[in-house]
């Protein structure tokens, strides 16, 4: 816990309180849907999905889109899992595996199962981080969920730490980035329900190089403080944008 993290928590909690009081997101189904589409578009764009925001919207609305079948499938899967988010328990490993199985259905052979080989985090062709050895993944994920259940840290901080540690372990063959961002949103949603409709992923996409740099710096320092500060600022910025609308 740094002074910056403490200040970010205070500012974010104040804005969250204002949004909860106004209930604008819960009262406006059009705004909720627009934000959900932005979230899906941005999270997949980070993973090199080429569909535009308009094409993502068209796919979700059941319209035909001229695009690579895999990219279309990624949108359909992401929409299915985000729609199911309210039913998932952020403290359940089984629910995480279920979410991954929906997210990666027909995209990888082992959807919903931990990987058996080595993987890494890439920014283009640049290796940002090599995932933990495959043989250690089940144990590391058990330990991460035990920590998530028992930690007394503020949900804002817990969500960021979980996101970083999840990406550090990189438990799946593919789909780790989008699943990690999804799970952070779920942890935040259980703290404040409006996070189900807040497009944090949009700001991550806009600051994608900073996102990867924060992961790389945290890896180099051997702890997640830099990444936590980066993600808390992202969340605060997202809340500020919604509050100004």
Token pair listed for 149:
């259940």
Residue 6 parent element (H or E): helix 3-22
Q: Taking the chain (245 residues) in consecutive chunks of 10 residues, what is each chunk's mean pLDDT? A: 94 88 63 87 93 97 96 97 93 98 96 91 74 94 98 96 95 94 93 82 89 91 95 92 73
pLDDT score for 2? 92
131 token code pair: 């995932």
111-167 pLDDT, tens per residue? 999 999 988 777 777 777 778 999 999 999 999 999 999 999 999 999 999 999 999
Q: How many CA atoms lie within 13 A of 46 on its CB side?
A: 27
Q: Which helix (H) or strand (E) holds 34?
A: helix 29-46
Angle between helix 69-83 and 29-46 (nearest 10): 130
> In DSSP terms, which residues pair with 197 in a beta bridge?
none
Residue 89, SS3? Answer: coil
How far apart (Å, rounded) are the C-alpha atoms in residues 12 and 124?
32
Supply the pLDDT for residue 127. 78
Cβ pair 217, 226 in contact under 8 A: yes
* Domains in the chain with CATH codes: 26-116+128-244 (1.10.3290.10)
Residues 91, 92, 98, 102: what is their CA dihedral angle, to the nearest 10 degrees? -10
pLDDT of residue 27: 61
Q: What angle do CA 141, 164, 234 make, to 5 degrees?
A: 145
Q: What is the predicted pLDDT for the residue at 110?
A: 93
The pLDDT assigned to 25 comes to 54
Coil vs helix vs strand at 154: coil
pLDDT of residue 198: 78
Q: What confidence score (pLDDT) does residue 133 get?
A: 92
């Amino acid at each position: 816990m740094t002074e910056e993290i403490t200040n970010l928590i205070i500012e974010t909690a104040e804005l969250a309180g204002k949004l909860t009081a106004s209930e604008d997101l819960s009262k406006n189904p059009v705004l909720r849907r627009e934000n959900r589409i932005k979230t899906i578009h941005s999270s997949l764009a980070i993973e090199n999905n080429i569909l535009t925001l308009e094409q993502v919207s068209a796919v979700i609305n059941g319209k035909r889109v001229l695009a690579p079948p895999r990219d279309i499938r990624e949108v359909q899967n992401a929409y299915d899992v985000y729609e199911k988010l309210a039913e998932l328990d952020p403290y359940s490993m089984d629910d995480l595996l279920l979410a991954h199985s929906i997210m990666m259905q027909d995209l990888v052979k082992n959807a919903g199962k931990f990987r058996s080989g080595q993987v890494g985090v890439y920014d283009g062709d640049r290796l940002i981080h090599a995932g933990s050895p495959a043989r250690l993944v089940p144990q590391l994920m058990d330990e991460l969920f035990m920590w998530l259940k028992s930690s007394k840290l503020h949900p804002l901080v817990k969500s960021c730490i979980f996101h970083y540690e999840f990406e550090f372990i990189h438990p799946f063959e593919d789909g780790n980035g989008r699943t990690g961002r999804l799970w952070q949103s779920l942890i935040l949603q259980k703290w404040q329900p409006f996070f189900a409709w807040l497009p944090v992923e949009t700001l991550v996409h806009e600051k994608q190089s900073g996102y990867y740099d924060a992961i790389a710096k945290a890896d180099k320092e051997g702890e997640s403080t830099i990444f936590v500060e980066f993600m808390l600022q992202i969340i605060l910025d997202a809340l500020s944008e919604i509050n100004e609308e």
